[in-house]
Each structure stands twice: as structure tokens, then as C-alpha cells.
Chains A and B, each alone.
Chain A
Amino acid sequence: DAKTTQPPSMDCAEGRAANLPCNHSTISGNEYVYWYRQIHSQGPQYIIHGLKNNETNEMASLIITEDRKSSTLILPHATLRDTAVYYCIVRVGSGGYNKLIFGAGTRLAVHP
């Protein structure tokens, strides 16, 4: 699975958009970008994933660059409850084997 690089920490004001970047310059054509988060030692929570098109769901938006070497997770209106460690994971996503390899992630702090 491709290696990802994320900033160790970020801050965001409540109500503002939180934009979390991820670099994955060695991504292969059949690898998806997944985002999970872990809120204060709870079980990780799936957020969103994509292959090459931008994706949006009720939690967030995922913007993937045209060359697929980087992506940005957008929380449009961050709340205090979004304070968590966010993990960007790149892996083959077309069924079958499904191991997730977690890096250090980005620790997002949302403040009032």
C-alpha cells in the first residue's frame, strides 16, 4: 500500500471549514484514498473514500487532485466534536483483502 504524508497537527475555529491535506505521491492506479478518524481513543470511524473523482457525503468532502498524488478532506463547518486524529490511508479498494495501515495521522483541534 502507498505511503501517505500528513501534517501532525492542525487547528480550526468552530464553524469554519477544516481542510486536511494528504500527500500520496506513489499511489497506484487501482488504489483508493480512504479517510478515517479517531475521537479520543474511541474506535476509528470511517469518513469517506474515493478513487479519482471528488466525493461528498453527509460528513465531509474529499478532493483528489487530477494526478492523484494528493488529496484534501474538507469538514465544511467544523464543530468541537470534530476534534480527533484524522487518518489518510491509501489502499487497493476493489474487494478482497482489506487490511488498513494507519500512519500517525493529523491531530485536528477545533476551538471555540
Chain B
Amino acid sequence: NAGVMQNPRHLVRRRGQEARLRCSPMKGHSHVYWYRQLPEEGLKFMVYLQKENIIDESGMPKERFSAEFPKEGPSILRIQQVVRGDSAAYFCASSRSDGSNEQYFGPGTRLTVT
């Protein structure tokens, strides 16, 4: 059973460009979570999605950031007009919907904004 997959693993963008981060949950998982880890800091929750629904986006910056988890395909975290402060590791996690609560994390995408 493949784990949570994220791509790309490393992404370099210039200021003002768009960044798209993809996350494929584990097989059988329908809940996806995105977390951000700034350099030398802890992980911070960003958004929680189920298929086609955003359940909680309380950790998402108000502007430039959006997330989706379509019926088919991976979850996408989209950052428009990136700035240097967006440079961080972005981790995706997934969990089952049967009441068990372990979240399994992907390897992360390291975004560098130049």
C-alpha cells in the first residue's frame, strides 16, 4: 500500500509566480490535511478537506492561498503571486473516514521563492 505521495518534492518559484502543490492520499483515505512548516519552526495546520469539500480552512492565509480536493485526482494547494515568506515545507496528510484518526504524512514539498 503506497503511502501519501506529494509532488513535486522541491519547487522553486520567483516572486509573483504561482505554485501548485499536489497530494495523493493513501488508498482508502478520503480526508486530506495540509500543514506548513516554516524554517526552524513547528508544523502549522492550514486546511482540512474531504472529497469536493473544504471542512476547515482556519489556518489558511486570507489571500493568495487556496486548496481543493476534487472527486477525481489529487488534492491541490495553490499559492498565487508567491512571496519570499511563502518559502517553507508543505506537508500533506491523509486519514480514513471510518473513525480511526491516525494521520499519515507525505514527504513534503519544499518551496523556495527567489
Shortest CB distance A102–B (Å): 4
User: 0/1 per residue, B86-108, Cβ < 8 Å to A?
Assistant: 00010101010011111111111
Pair A95/B101 contact, Cβ less than 8 Å: yes
CB under 8 Å from chain B, chain A span 27-51: 32, 34, 38, 41-46, 49
Interface size on A (CB < 8 Å)? 23
Label chain A's interface by main secondary structure: loop
Pair A99/B42 contact, Cβ less than 8 Å: no
Q: With a 10 A CB-CB cut-off, give which of A43, A95, A104 has the most chain B CB atoms.
A: A43
Q: Is B44 located at the chain interface by the 8 A CB criterion?
A: yes
CB-CB under 8 A for A43 and B101, given A98-B33, A98-B48, A99-B56:
no
Chain A hits for B48, CB < 8 A: 97-99
User: 0/1 per residue, B51-72, Cβ < 8 Å to A?
Assistant: 0000110000000000000000
Q: Is B82 located at the chain interface by the 8 A CB criterion?
A: no
Q: Is A103 located at the chain interface by the 8 A CB criterion?
A: yes
Shortest CB distance B56–A (Å): 7
Shortest CB distance A50–B (Å): 12
Chain B hits for A102, CB < 8 A: 35, 42-44
| Beyond A43-B108, A97-B56, 9 extra complex contacts between A and B, CB < 8 Å | A34-B101, A41-B89, A43-B106, A46-B104, A46-B105, A99-B45, A100-B45, A102-B42, A102-B43
Interchain Cβ contacts under 8 Å between A and B, 8 examples: A41-B37, A49-B101, A93-B101, A95-B99, A99-B33, A99-B48, A99-B56, A100-B103
